[in-house]
Amino acid sequence: MTEATTVRPSTQKRSAPTIKYTIAMPQPSSHLFEVTLAVAGLAGSVLDLKLPVWTPGSYLVREYAKHLQDFSAYTEESILSWRKLGKNHWQIDTNGASQIEVFYRVFANDLSVRTNHLDGSHGYFNPAALCFYIPGWEREKIRIQILPPFKEWRIATPLPPVADEVNTFEADDFDTLVDSPFEIGNHQLYEFEVLGKPHELAIWGEGNAQPNRIIPDIQKIIEIEAQMFGGLPYDRYVFLLHLASQNAGGLEHKNSCTLNYARFGFRVKDKYDRFMQLVAHEFFHLWNVKRIRPKALEKFDYDGENYTPSLWFSEGTTSYYDLLIPLRAGIYDAKSFLHNLSKEITRLQTIPGRKVQPASESSFDAWIKLYRRDANSDNSQISYYLKGELVSLLLDLLIRSRHQNQRSLDDVMRQMWEQFGKEEIGFSPEQLQEAIESVAGTNLSDFFARYVDGTDELPFDDYLELFGLQLLPDSEEEQAPFIGLTAKSQNGKEAINFVEIGSPAQIAGVDAGDELLAINGIRVTADKLSDRLKDYQSGDTIQVTVFHQDELRTLPVTLAAPKPNSYKVVALGNPSSAQKENFAGWLGVPISTIS
């Protein structure tokens, strides 16, 4: 970095501006992308460059600039001086040049859907984590050329190719570039058509994914969702699938999505169904959040957080539909749907944070809480995905029951699409509530106050009963007395990773981070804890021995009455004809099929 006096960022006047990136990876095993940015049409004394700190769809400031190194700027005649004005802000002295080039490297060894990964097998990047934007030039076209390290490597991206330039693609503006991931390597590439439009599935990694099974099911999902919204709002769509050992995840884009899934997660039906839910979720996002989006996300601020209380709808409602769409597509049946729904309700009802954080607050605080979990997270917060999903369930059942299944949450989505999505006009929380109320045909102020902006328990049975269903604790197994801690075997130790606030363990002084050693003087392991507790009754006091910050402690813990640790949605014994009709109208089959 050359020392120089800070120059105030200028409005950069120019004629015929051009922006072109060249992305090279000459030594893939180094995990370093080599990026050259060529800018022409400059007319100011300085050029300001900023690297985004986050990427749309993943609401956390990830500080992509921390991976950038070896920055330099130059013209054909000289090296240019530059300075940093902030963590993600570089400023270059142009010396009056109309064209300059910038070179830098980005370390890429994070295999996630929102960052970059480069090794000997492939290169994957999200442009938000790799490419600068030029303040004031965000609406200009951007070309991006890829220089693969091996000639057999191919490129998959939703961006259209430039006809007269090899391995070169063009984005209409910076938002479009950010929304266009790149997969470069020896991936398998499959082309297929749905509703007259071309689609691609690129699969990187080894595993047991079977394209001849996956692609027909993806086609069904596309058709069902397109039918719901009245067509497909793109000319071409690309699915990028990474098979790896890490956890599943996805990131939506306007004309593509990236999916990470366990490499051997496609044979067992339950795992395969979860993959298809992931596909349904990310594809549904091309309407809900990529085009139907909250006002705060109408225009992206790549420098910092974009706050909205409506992620419970953008993500949570999408999560509700990722359960429904595979059912409607015939990928699984109503019994499987209710089994999956039961698991989601179980997750909510076993997180004490549901009584502390409202769904709207969870949405607003996504930037500081959801992706930054700590030992107290389950005590103090709830996921807007999860709470929003189950609030959406109740809204769907409410609308359906009031209108004999002639209206549903589908109609809300269609109205939001017509009113906001087609023109990409951001909606306010008030406008969202008004749209739901207009379809429901009733005032929902109390509902929103209690279940979206408040922490009242969701009244599942009040809504399920109208459809011949009820929620029951799953009591197939003997329940142990409640102690209020969870533990996991880690590195040869039994680590306590969560202690519920107000529980017997917390009152006795057990902390998350303690090492669990014994109950009543006899060693206990994490996987045997529940079985050991079944030897006692609620009200019994047991001696729990732990290491607390290397200090040996034995604490008296008085056990409480058992709490349900799972729930299931089941049919009522003798549903009425109205309940049967409601059920069939909702899930498309007679209620007798789930008995």
Residues 585 and 524 in one domain: no
Residue 234 in any domain: the answer is yes
Is 546 found in the same domain as 438? no
- In Å, how far are 8, 25, 373, 395, 456 from 362, measured between CA atoms? 38, 40, 13, 19, 15
Give yes or no for a contact between 41 and 14, defined as CB atoms under 8 angstroms apart: yes
CATH number at residue 595: 1.10.390.10
266 in a structural domain: yes
* Same domain assignment for residues 279 and 386: no
Average pLDDT, the chain: 95
pLDDT at 571 over 50: yes
- pLDDT exceeds cutoff 60 at 4: no
The residues, ordered by sequence, that sit 6+ positions from 312 with a Cβ below 8 Å of its Cβ are 359, 360, 362, 363, 384, 387, 388, 391, 452
Same domain for 245 and 383, yes or no, is no
CB 188 within 8 A of CB 211: yes
Looking at the structure, tell me whether residues 106 and 30 fall in a common domain: yes
436: nearest Cα among 413, 464, 468, 461: 413
Do residue 221 and residue 166 come from a single domain?
A: no
Rounded to whole angstroms, the Cα distance separating 14 from 147 reads 29
Q: Quick count: other Cβ atoms within 10 Å of Cβ 394?
A: 19
Q: Say whether pLDDT at 119 is over 50.
A: yes
Q: Total structural domains in the chain?
A: 4
- Structure confidence at residue 453 (pLDDT): 98
In the predicted model, is pLDDT for residue 1 greater than 70? Answer: no
State pLDDT tens for residues 82-102: 999 999 999 999 999 999 999
Alpha-helix runs per DSSP H in 179-266: 211-229
Same domain, yes or no: 526 and 593: no
408 has a pLDDT exceeding 80: yes
Residue 494 clears pLDDT 80, i.e. is over it: yes
Q: Are residues 101 and 204 in the same domain?
A: no
Q: How high is the pLDDT of residue 7?
A: 46
Res 3: pLDDT: 38
Q: Is residue 444 part of a domain?
A: yes
**pLDDT at residue 500, as a whole number:** 97
Instruction: Determine which helix (DSSP H) or strand (DSSP E) holds 36, and give its type and residue range.
Output: strand 32-40
pLDDT tier at 247 (50, 70, 90 boundaries)?
A: confident
Asked whether the predicted pLDDT for residue 214 surpasses 90, the reply is: yes
- 193: β partners: 198
* pLDDT for position 17: 85
Q: What is the C-alpha separation between 4 and 97, in angstroms, rounded?
A: 18
In a domain, 10, yes or no: no
Say if residue 430 is in the same domain as residue 495: no
- Give every CB contact of residue 477 below 8 A, 6+ residues apart in sequence: none
- Which pLDDT score is estimated for 474? 85
- Checking if the pLDDT of 6 tops 80, the result is no
Closest CA to 116 of 37, 170, 35: 35
* 316-351 pLDDT tens trace: 999 999 999 999 999 999 999 999 999 999 999 999
Residue of 225, 207, 212 whose CA lies nearest to 265: 207
Residue (of 589, 567, 11) closest to 341 by Cα position: 567
Domain boundary among 153, 168, 186: 186
Q: Is residue 364 part of a domain?
A: yes
Domain limits at 245?
A: 187-286
Q: Which residues contact 76 (CB under 8 A, 6 or more apart)?
A: none
Task: Using DSSP, state whether 7 is helix, strand or coil.
Answer: coil
Q: Which pLDDT value is given to residue 2?
A: 37
CATH number of the domain encompassing residue 107 = 2.60.40.3650
Confidence of residue 248 (pLDDT cuts 50, 70, 90): confident
Residue 185 has pLDDT above 50, yes or no: yes
Q: What is the pLDDT of residue 345?
A: 98
Domain boundary pick from 159, 186, 213: 186
Q: How far is CA 364 from the centre of its chain?
A: 15
Residue 555: its pLDDT value, please?
Answer: 97
* Average pLDDT over every residue of 233-251: 93
Q: What is the CATH number of the domain that holds 521?
A: 2.30.42.10
Q: What is the pLDDT of residue 15?
A: 58
DSSP secondary structure letters along 241-293 = EEEESS--EEEE-SSEEEEEEETT-SSSHHHHHHHHHHHHHHHHTTTBTTTB-
pLDDT tens-digit map of 272-328: 999 999 999 999 999 999 999 999 999 999 999 999 999 999 999 999 999 999 999
> What is the Cα–Cα distance from 500 to 194, expressed in whole angstroms?
49
Residue 246 has pLDDT above 80, yes or no: no
Give residue 293's pLDDT.
97
Instruction: Taking residues 464-482, report their average pLDDT.
Output: 91
- For tokens 């604790």, what's the residue? 473
Percentage of the residues of the chain whose pLDDT score is greater than 90: 94
| 181 has a pLDDT exceeding 70 | yes
Is 480 domain-assigned? no
Instruction: Indicate if 436 and 413 belong to the same structural domain.
Output: yes
Q: Which residue has the higher pLDDT, 382 or 43?
A: 382
* Residue 133 included in any domain: yes
Q: Which pLDDT tens digit goes with each residue over 523-564?
A: 999 999 999 999 999 999 999 999 999 999 999 999 999 999
pLDDT of residue 475: 74
Name the least confident of 13-17, 212-216, 395-399.
Answer: 13-17
pLDDT higher than 70, residue 18: yes
Residue 11 has pLDDT above 90, yes or no: no
Q: Does residue 117 lie within any of the structural domains?
A: yes
Question: 228 pLDDT exceeds 60?
Answer: yes
Residue 229 has pLDDT above 60, yes or no: yes
**Is there a single domain that holds both residue 170 and residue 192?**
no
- Say if residue 114 is in the same domain as residue 216: no
